[in-house]
Structure 1
Amino acid sequence: MLLGMVSRLHTLPRRAVLCAALLLPCLTTPAHAWGPQGHKLVAMVAMEHLTPTAKKNIKFLLGKETLADVASWPDVYRPLETQTGPWHYVDIPEGAGTYDRERDCPTQPNVKAGSPGDKWRDCVVDRILFFEGRIGDATLDPADRAIALKYLVHFVGDIHQPLHTTGVQKGGNGITVNVFGSDTCGKYPCNLHSVWDSGLILHRQLNDKQYLALLDHEFASTPPAATPDDPATWANEGNALLPGLMLPQGGVVDQAYFDREIPVVDRQLEVAGLRLAAVLNRTFTSAPVTFKPAAADSKQF
């Protein structure tokens, strides 16, 4: 049922999708993940490192849209189907240090842990693996694979935002902060999560192409390693960054905080893009094939 709903949204006219995007601020709290620019940058870094075969497959699935065009699509869909909300993060408890699937990745609604239906769970670690499998499955309808690709692009970005790897104060959403002299960010009180989603990125005052050029320059001589390819390890890496970036209630985000943390933001954007490219390159190793549905296609989400 959920897959069918997602598929229908995918085929809506552009005007309907635009309306959903315009309604998003009214339906949700202000912070979800990397903001639109952060997600686009992850996708743009990835596009620079794709093989020709991967590019052909992506064009086959997305048509005229690019990875950057669809990178924030899951945030548009999220308020329309709340089950997808937990797919964007994983709540590693404070002090736990490392991800534990049984503890940190909840089962799907009405699914018992360890039951035959408990194959995929509702956290970003499992969902990256789930959608990676779907984009490479030629027995699925290309429209379903395109949706899976949109989710994969987004979730690889999400898991590299460090506050998407902790349950502390709802990933920092509950930590109010003063940002460059202001206690409000738009219509909402500033919080640490929104600072990391978009505040630090926007403070650079660069457009997408300028920021991508800055990342290319920063990491030209010493690019971060795209390995390992395990989303659980990516979550552990992000969680390990938390002690350096956390602030107390009422903490201050000033130029000194920006100067200290923006290199971390840049590295996370870069490595997320490199890892996304690595996932897509290893998945798309042959030319696009005509849709050949399997005799019995399980569409479990």
Structure 2
Amino acid sequence: MSDASLSPFVKWAGGKRQLLNEIKERMPEGFYRYYEPFVGGGAVVFDILPENAVINDINRALINAYRQICKEPKAFLNIINSLDSKMWEDGKAYYYSLRERYNDKLMKKEYDTELAALFVFINKHCFNGLYRVNGRGLFNVPYNNSRRKSVDKESIYAVSEYLENVTILEGDFQNACVTARKGDFIFIDSPYAPLNPTSFESYTKEGFDIESHRRLAELFDELTQRGCKCMLTNHNTDLIQELYGNKGYRMDVVRVKRMINSDASNRVGEEIIICNY
């Protein structure tokens, strides 16, 4: 399998595909292990393909999809291809029936191959690939009217093969970095800091509040003291400037498009890439 066939199997809010060149230009020339405590859709790890990688996310359904594709790619493909084949008579009704099935399995904590297939299916057929849950932790994003195929067979097998040699963790970002040591590289793509006080989206039931951003900044400082090479991306906001400014870190501001904002006039913004090396 060629590396060209390996690509993210989900679309993820805040994904870094459009920033890949900027990120790769700033990566350290050499490092030991690669850590990504907020892996999301995996745009970066699936592009650079580090040999010794640790990936993590707090979203249990997302990590279940990584693990199932890693361990059971054939079973995953059989289920999702079956889901695709039954959709097209009434796409909207079918999508909502599968969303209900997905939420039912979440309530029952059935983190299996079927849940992984449902997770990827609804990701490809919901509005902007957004993962949003309500207060009960149930997925509630509407249908996007797409009838496209959910996955590419060759890409799923390539992802599975690569993930066999990757450590896949599920949980808090701080725990994911416990084993990071001098010379390791940590790429941190955390949930965005708020552009305004009401702009947070709940991607997991736990959410990621301002205190979480403060705790992350403390971890960035701690990893720096350990001798780790760290890169962090986020909105260029006053909060991020407050948390990381005046510490000697390299802070580069880049222009980006906001793909999820419903107001076209607000789809251009600034991101900041912060490096401690």
TM-score normalised by L of structure 1: 0.24
TM-score normalised by L of structure 2: 0.26
Task: Decide which structure has greater helix share.
Answer: 1
Task: Decide which structure has greater strand share.
Answer: 2
